[in-house]
Homo-oligomer: A and B are copies of this chain.
Amino acid sequence: MRTDNRLPRVLHILLHLDEIDEPVTSERMGEMFGMDASLVRRTMGGLRKHGLVTSTKGHGGGWHLQRPLSEISLMDVYIALGSPSVFAIGAPEPSSPCLLEHAASDATRAAMGAARQVFEKELGRVSVSDLARNARI
């Protein structure tokens, strides 16, 4: 399985976006972060739909923040990315009515559920501006 690295990448983008006053084009972001401009648009598009950023077309257009970073939690970003699945391991729906298979699936899921809760709680209590503050120390 290939890991989904969008969360840290988007956080990085947002942190820089906050330091630039004028709108930033996808093209420029692509150069800054080593991404294809089209991929930038696609990724940022998710954030736009969730009200984190806005985009303007035409001359002088580009991306800018819609809310201050202090009002965006890492969890908001994670959700805006579509709440990608956290786990590389899984427990598929049991393929048989076998109770032992169910027990094995359930136990695996229980551990994953507990881990997921912690993951989301951690993301929820940190704002993107907290990261900027940490970086400055």
Tell me the A residues contacting B by CB distance below 8 Å. 1-9, 11-12, 15-16, 34, 74, 84-92, 95, 98-108, 110-112, 114-119, 122-123, 126, 130-132, 134-136
Contacts and interface: CB of A to CB of B under 8 A. Distances in A.
Contacts of A131: 100, 103-104, 107
A90 B130 CA distance: 20
Contacts of A8: 91-92, 101, 104-105, 107-108
A41 B19 CA distance: 56
Give the oligomeric copy count. 2
Given A11-B103, A99-B136, 16 more contacts: A1-B85, A4-B89, A8-B101, A12-B101, A15-B100, A74-B107, A85-B89, A100-B132, A102-B135, A103-B131, A106-B134, A107-B126, A107-B134, A110-B122, A112-B119, A118-B118
A5 B107 contact: no
B88 A7 contact: no
